[in-house]
Every structure is written in C-alpha cells, then in structure tokens.
Amino acid sequence: MAVILHVDMDAFFASVSMRRRPELRGTPVVVGGYPRGVVLSANYEARAYGIRSGMPSGRAKRLCPELNFIDPTYDDFSSVAKGIVAVFQTVTPIVEAASIDEAYLDLAGARHRFSSPYAIGEYVRAMVCDEQQITCSVGIGPSKFVAKMASRAAKPDGLIEVPPARVADFLHPMPVDAMFGVGPPTAEKLHRLGIRTIADLARTPPGALRQTFGPHLSHQLVELAWGRDRTRVVPAVPERGVGSQETFGSDTEDPTVVRRELLRMAAKTARRMRRAGYLGRTVTMSIRFADFRTLTRSTTLPNPTDVTDEIYAAALALLDRLGLDQARIRRVGIKVGGLVPAERAERQPFLDDPEFGWREAERAVDAAVGRFGPKAVQRAVLAAPRNWVAAMGAPGQSDPDRRAHQPK
C-alpha cells in the first residue's frame, strides 16, 4: 500500500513576503499591486474579511480598509521554494512539485531513519519552519487524493494522517464541495441529484451519474469518494525556460517606460538563471496591449548567456522591429530558453574580452543582494527618474564600443 505525503505551504506568498516586514505580523496583508492589480496571496487575517487570491485589489481594499499591500518579490519565492524542495529530498527522492507552494512525496523511497510516516511529516514541518521561517500543513494518506484532502483539513500549520482503514471515516462526512477537483459547476450538478456529502456520492452507482457526467467522470467521482486514486507521484522534469513579466500600474504608450521595464525584466531573468545555474540562447520578448492582444517575438543569440545587458539588448532589438509607436501597452515580459547548465556551456570569446567582465560583476551584485536585500545594489536607471531611460537607449547604441567599458 502506497504512503503519500502532501505538503502545502500556508499562505505561501504572503508568508514569504512578510519575512521582510515582520512589523505586519498579526495584521491583514495581501501580496499584490494596488490600486491596480489582483491579490496574489492573502494571509489568514485578510482571509477573515473574505479576501481571496485572484480578487481585484480595489475590491479587497473595500472589504478591509486597513489592508496592507506588499509588492511581490519573485526571486524570494523561487529561492524559498527551492530550499523547501531540498528539505523534501532529504526524505525521499520521489518528489512531485504540484506548484511553487505544494508538493507530493512518495514515501516508498523514504530514507530509513524515520520511525513512521507521521514522524516524517513532523520532520518536514519542523525543517521548513526552521530553515525558511514559514509554516506548512501536511496530509498523509494511501493516495494523492487522500493526502491532499488531509493537508487541506490540517490547515493552517497542522498535520493529519489518514490510515487506509480510516479513509471512509475521514472523507464521508465532508460536503462534496470540499473534494479536490470538484469545482462549483460540478458541485451544483451533484446537488441537483440530491448528493450533498462525499458519503452520498460514494453510495451512488456510477450508472446513476452517467447521464450528467459521462462514463469516465462518473466512475472517477465514485472512486475518489472512496479515496481510490491511482495517479502516481512523478518527479518534475528540468525547467525549460526562465522568465519574468510585469503588468504596468496603468496602460502606457511611453517608450521610455517600456524600455525601463524590459531592462528590469531582463535583470530579474538573468539573476534567476544565475541562481539556477543555467545559461540560455533563445530570448523571447512578449507585449500585451491594452485590448489584451499579445505579441511574442524570439531571437537566438550566438552564445548562451546569463548577462542582463545581452538579454536586454536582444529583447530591445525585438521591440524596435515591431515599431509600436503610440501603442498602449499593458504588460511586458522576457523569457530565456535553450537552457544549458552553466558548467557545460561554451561561449565563443572575443579577442578584446577583459579577464573579468559583466558576468563576474553581476555575480558580485547577486552576492550583495543576497546578503543585504533586493535594493542593496541597483542599476541607476532603474532607481532614477523616468527620463533617464531615454538617454540610455539600447546597450551599445550610445557607445559603439561598449565592451571597452566592461568592468576590469
């Protein structure tokens, strides 16, 4: 019999963001932009007001006038997520990251120093709290579905183990609305059939559901009502691309604003690549317009890179080819693909390359930012007034021999 452990971070984005703002603990907090934007995550104090992920920020503020907003710091989220997965992998190599804030662990591959699945769950919770200063909830069961349901019931900051003999006792008192994978439309159809609880569903012959849900879903619903889920824990495949995107506070047709944001996205993307240990050759630039049309353009570089200026220059060249004068732009993004591990990447050197260049300089900046925070070292143009961007132009445009000015 399989033993699956499901770990779900408690208000992950809000919890990670509040590590830098400890004075906000105990107050309602959301991660997201204001006044324009949506709620990315809400802590439990904010959820008490009915605030949920995906809600427009303006509506959240009306529900809770004293609500505090924190801008998302995606590098922090990624770094914490990787640290958490590293904890999981000390338990078992069979780890499936369902999203950035939850994962399944198949304990069939667990190390043998733990006395029981419950002890593994407590170890994971303690290590995540100690190393990342955030809490998580853990569910343990004989299938992925039961483990997921158990972690939901354990929230926040709890652990529930459901042995095989107690699956029905655990699931059947719950409303069908609580089933993972059953959204409001499916729940409404079940209610119309007189099915209110998971016990009602378990006792319903699949044939009675077939007309409403079809043969496949009817069978699956009844199987899940008994906790039977044959899906396996599948370790994730390596990342195929690294990217960043940003929605403007208001639609803009100012090319200096668009250029500056592309530079910011290039810097974020390059930093994430360096942290992950990858270089890439394919740069993709995306533009979303005010009417929600989206354009993407890609180019392939002669050498793989993780250098901000090289990524930015490629994205800016793609932007210039589009000729978007007077177009109102809502969002910009950059993604780098064609990833190769940095230690295996081969770059064709230039004869006049200095011994130490922009890669070394940016790694030094990464170290300073990691120690002192995201604003410890910034490019002047990203911290300066908007009119600086126009003077900057694309890398190499204002200085035809830019490599002569690389850090020595």
The DSSP-derived string for 236-261 is: PPPP-EEEEEEEEEEEE--HHHHHHH
What's the one-letter identity of residue 259? Answer: R
Q: Is residue 101 a known part of a binding site?
A: yes
Q: Provide the Cα torsion 174, 177, 180, 184; round to 10°.
A: 180
Residue 131 annotated to the active site:
no
Decide if 177 contacts 187 (C-beta within 8 A).
yes
Reduced to 3 states (helix: H, G, I; strand: E, B; else coil), residue 391 is helix
User: Which distant-in-sequence residues (6+ apart) come within 8 Å of 105 by Cβ?
Assistant: 4, 5, 6, 7, 88, 91, 92, 94, 95, 96, 120, 124, 233
Among 178, 181, 157, 183, which residue's Cα sits nearest to residue 12?
Answer: 157
Gap between the Cα atoms of 16 and 35, Å rounded: 22
- From the candidates 23, 45, 96, 102, give the one annotated as an active-site residue: 102
Q: Is residue 8 a known part of a binding site?
A: yes
Question: Which region, left, alpha or beta, applies to residue 20 given φ > 0 means left and ψ of -120 to 50 means alpha?
Answer: alpha
What SS3 string covers 194-236?
CCCEHHHHHCCCHHHHHHHHHHHHHHHHHHHHCCCCCCCCCCC
State the binding site for Mg(2+): 8, 101
The residues that are catalytic are 102
